[in-house]
Amino acid sequence: MPKSAIRIPIGRPDIGRKEIEAVLETMKSNWVTQGEKVEQFENAFAQYCGAKHGVAVNNGTAALHTALAALGIKQGDEVITTPLSCVATTNPIIYMNAKPVFVDVEDTTLNINISLIEKKITPKTKAIIPVHLFGHPVDCDPLMEIAEKHDIQIVEDCAQSHGAKYKGKKVGVFGHVSCFSFYADKPMTTVEGGIVLTDDEELAEKMRLLRSFGMSKREKFFHPVLGYNYKMTDINAAIGLVQLRKLEGYIKRKRHNISYLRRQLDHIRITLPKELEYAFNVYYVCSILTEKGNEKIVQRLEHQGIETRPLLSFIPEQPPYLKYRTNLKELNVARNAHKNGFYISNSPKLTEKELDYVVSSLTKATADASR
C-alpha cells in the first residue's frame, strides 16, 4: 500500500509576512546582533508573563545553564528534576558538575510528582527543575511550600508552556527563575532562542553578565567572571516580537484542536491530554497514551503521513546518564508512559480537514493494533 499524499509534520511554524518584514527592517538597520530589539523583546515577554526581568539567550538549554550558574549550582550539589523530558532539562545540571536526581511523574499530567520530592531531598539538594510538560502546569503551590521549607531554589522549565496558567496566573513567575525556549516548534518562536525570567534584579544582572562572556559593562574586554557566549540576536528578537503578538491566537487554536479531537475520539481506547482543575493547558503538542505498546499505531500513523515522536526521552536509561545509578524501579510511571506514549502535531495551522484525517487515521490505527 503506498504512503498517503497527506503530510502532517510535527512542527509547522507560522512565519508570515510580518515576521519577514521585521527581519528585513532589522537587517537594514545595520545592527543585527544583540541590541535594541533584544531589549524590547525581553521587556515585552517578561511583561506578558508577569515577571520583572527578562534575559534573552540563544536557546532554551542556554537559559537553564545560565540560570543554574547564576544561582551558584556547583560540583557536588544535587538538583531534582523529572526523568521524562527533553535532555535539555538535565544537561545543564551536568554542565555545572552537579548531580541530577530523578523523581517519577504523575500519571495524569506526566509532570513531576510533587508528593515524591521530599523523599529525595538531602543536604546536597540545592534546586528543583520542574517541567510544565507539554503545556500543562505543575502543581506549583505545594512545590513552592517544599522549596521554602527546605530553602531550595526552583527553576521552572517552561520550554513548552508559553501562556499556560496555574490558578489563573501564568507560569514563569512561581519559581526563583524560569526558563523558556523559542525553538521553531514551540508555542511561539524566534527560530532559535530562549529567555530567563526573574523578579530578582541582582540575579538578572548576573545572568546578563554570564551570557556575554562575563564581560563588564563598564570596561570592554574585562571579564570579572567566567561567562558564556549565549546572546540572542536582534534578528531573532524581531521575529519574537511579532510572534508574541500572535501567541494568544495560537493558544486559542491549540485548545480548540484538542477539544475537537477529544469529542471525535471519545470512542477509542487512548488517553489524550488532560487539564486539571487548577490548570490552563496550552497543549504544546497532542500527547497520546495507549494501553499497551504503541508500535503498531505509530507505524500506521507514519504510513498515513502523520508524523509522530516518542514522549521525549526517558532520560535515566540513556547512556550519558547511566553513571548516576538511578533506581529505575522508582520511575515506573515515567518509564511506562515513554513506552506506551507518543505525540503528534498540535499546530495552530491544522485545518479541520486535517483534524478529521487525524481522527480517521487514529481510529483505524487503534482498531488494527487491537486485532
First to last CA, the chain: 19
Task: Give the whole-angstrom CA distance, residue 360 versus residue 350.
Answer: 15
Q: Measured on CA atoms in the order 79, 83, 89, 90, is the torsion positive or negative?
A: positive
Residue 341: is it exposed, middle or buried by C-beta count within 10 angstroms (0-12/13-18/19+)?
Answer: buried
Judge contact between 10 and 311, C-beta under 8 A. Answer: no
- Is the backbone of residue 98 left (phi > 0), alpha (psi -120 to 50) or beta? beta
Distance, CA of 204 to CA of 53 (rounded, Å): 6
Catalytic residue, from 37, 186, 206, 254: name it. 186
Active site residue 169: no
Q: Residue type at 242?
A: V
Q: Grid coordinates standing for 162?
A: 508559553
Residue 128 pairs with which residues in a beta bridge?
A: 80, 154
Report the alpha-carbon distance of residue 360 to residue 58 in Å, rounded: 40
* Residue pair 341/311 in contact by the 8 Å Cβ criterion: yes
Q: Is-contact 155 127, C-beta < 8 A? A: yes
Q: Which three cell numbers stand for residue 337?
A: 508512559
Which one, of 232, 132, 123, lies nearest residue 175 by Cα?
132
* Residue positions annotated with a catalytic role: 186
